[in-house]
């Protein structure tokens, strides 16, 4: 695919104007719809598709009119939050009718079970949703169900128990004695939100019985946290976030269940975000990732999906959770040479997607922060009219 390059005098591509020109001349192009486009995942998806524009129409749906990502889309629609499932679907259905997208991606975990449900109950759009069936949606988004799904298939997963399970006290106490620390996680969610480390029986007792949490032994190095705890008598740091090393086995599964690509990555995580990434080459971990990829494809999952692991000196690599959507490290992997977005778009649209100019892979990808401006009049127009640009 050869892409048109257009820019304003300020050097910024005016995509709505370019699209209007292309459409006026009778050109058609593939369309991607990003749910919850205002999220950090939405940012990564937008970054990853930038090189394909304006030959790719980008449409977003979001529940917040003030999100800057909204205005990186060619067209964006305001919708109720995903927790209002019926109203959310009604708005999504309106957008599907108006835009007829080729590819529909989730921008948050909350979208995954809804997309899996829509995929089964609305066959007209089924082949557009990049996800699996509802039978896999729970294991992909619930850490306890994910543990049970993996261990039932003899796949390595961190020992996990529900905090309210009858066996939780006995198992957690044994893990605390064996590993020295526990980790309590919300059963759903990502990005390290709501996660706590437990170092003693007092903290464990305060956690047991919570229906929304799972408990695992902490398999990474707890030394920085223990050192902080030991020094707490001299006060607590105002800002403090240690680095955590994770390993990611990324897979892209095509719409017919074929494995389109596999990539293993080592990630330095800070505050739940990938701040530094490199390719990871390890035969043991490669085998684990390949086994998960085959199991997920056989079970019916489709699109980008990864399993995230930590390494324990005695247990080796253990998966700690799934990510069954485009992930926060999507663009870092692109910089490292694994173009899962091009694979996904090509497979779902049946058209080749090639970056122009060609992206030269780098050995390391690092995250930089940046500031963006927010056009208040655009936000007001989206809030009032329910879509932007309002002239379309």
pLDDT for res 192: 65
Mean of the per-residue pLDDT values of the chain: 89
Return the minimum-mean-pLDDT range out of 105-109, 113-117, 191-195, 268-272.
191-195
Cis omega (within 30 of 0) on the bond before 389?
Answer: yes
Mean pLDDT of the 8-30 span: 45
- What CATH class does 15-130+368-388 carry? alpha beta
pLDDT for res 233: 74
What residue segments make up the domains of the chain, in order of their start? Answer: 15-130+368-388, 138-154+241-366, 161-218
Question: Percent of the chain having pLDDT more than 90?
Answer: 76
Whether the predicted pLDDT of 392 surpasses 60? no
* 15-130+368-388 against 161-218: fold identical: no
Summarised one tens digit per residue, pLDDT across range 77-86 is 999 999 999 9
Mean pLDDT of the 219-234 span: 81
CATH of domain 161-218: 3.30.1490
Whether the predicted pLDDT of 91 surpasses 70? yes
pLDDT for res 126: 95
Q: Who wins on pLDDT, 41 or 237?
A: 41
- CA geometry: angle 365, 132, 60, nearest 5 deg: 60
Whether the predicted pLDDT of 331 surpasses 60? yes
Fold assignment, 138-154+241-366: D-amino Acid Aminotransferase; Chain A, domain 1 (3.30.470)
pLDDT for res 3: 30
Mean pLDDT of the 23-48 span: 84
């Amino acid at each position: 695919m050869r892409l048109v390059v257009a820019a304003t005098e300020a050097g910024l591509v005016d995509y709505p104007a370019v699209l209007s020109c292309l459409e006026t001349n009778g050109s058609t192009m593939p369309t991607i719809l990003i749910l919850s486009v205002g999220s950090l995942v939405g940012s990564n998806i937008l970054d990853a598709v930038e090189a394909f524009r304006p030959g790719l129409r980008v449409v977003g749906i979001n529940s917040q009119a003030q999100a800057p990502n909204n205005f990186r889309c060619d067209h964006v629609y305001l919708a109720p939050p995903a927790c209002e499932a019926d109203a959310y679907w009604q708005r999504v259905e309106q957008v599907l009718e108006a835009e007829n997208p080729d590819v529909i991606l989730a921008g948050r975990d909350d979208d995954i079970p809804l997309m899996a449900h829509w995929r089964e109950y609305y066959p007209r759009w089924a082949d557009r949703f990049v996800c699996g069936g509802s039978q896999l949606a729970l294991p992909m988004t619930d850490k306890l169900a994910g543990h049970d799904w993996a261990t039932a298939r003899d796949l390595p997963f961190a020992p996990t128990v529900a905090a309210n399970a009858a066996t939780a006290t006995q198992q957690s106490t044994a893990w605390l004695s064996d590993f020295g620390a526990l980790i309590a996680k919300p059963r759903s969610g990502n990005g390290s939100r709501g996660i706590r480390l437990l170092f003693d029986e007092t903290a464990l007792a305060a956690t047991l019985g919570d229906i929304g949490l799972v408990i695992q032994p902490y398999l990474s190095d707890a030394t920085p946290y223990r050192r902080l705890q030991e020094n707490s008598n001299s006060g607590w740091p105002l800002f403090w976030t240690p680095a955590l090393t994770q390993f990611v086995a990324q897979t892209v599964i095509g719409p017919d269940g074929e494995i389109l690509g596999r990539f293993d990555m080592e990630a330095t995580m800070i505050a739940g975000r990938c701040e530094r990434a490199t390719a990871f080459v390890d035969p043991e971990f490669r085998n684990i990732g390949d086994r998960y990829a085959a199991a997920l494809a056989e079970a019916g999952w489709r699109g980008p999906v990864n399993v995230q692991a930590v390494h324990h000196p005695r247990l080796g690599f253990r998966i700690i959770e799934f990510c069954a959507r485009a992930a926060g490290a999507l663009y870092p992997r692109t910089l490292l040479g694994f173009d899962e977005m091009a694979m996904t778009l090509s497979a779902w649209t049946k058209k080749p997607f090639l970056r122009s100019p060609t992206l030269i892979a780098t050995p390391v990808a690092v995250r930089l922060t940046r500031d963006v401006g927010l056009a208040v009049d655009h936000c007001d127009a989206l809030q009032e009219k329910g879509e932007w640009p309002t002239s379309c």
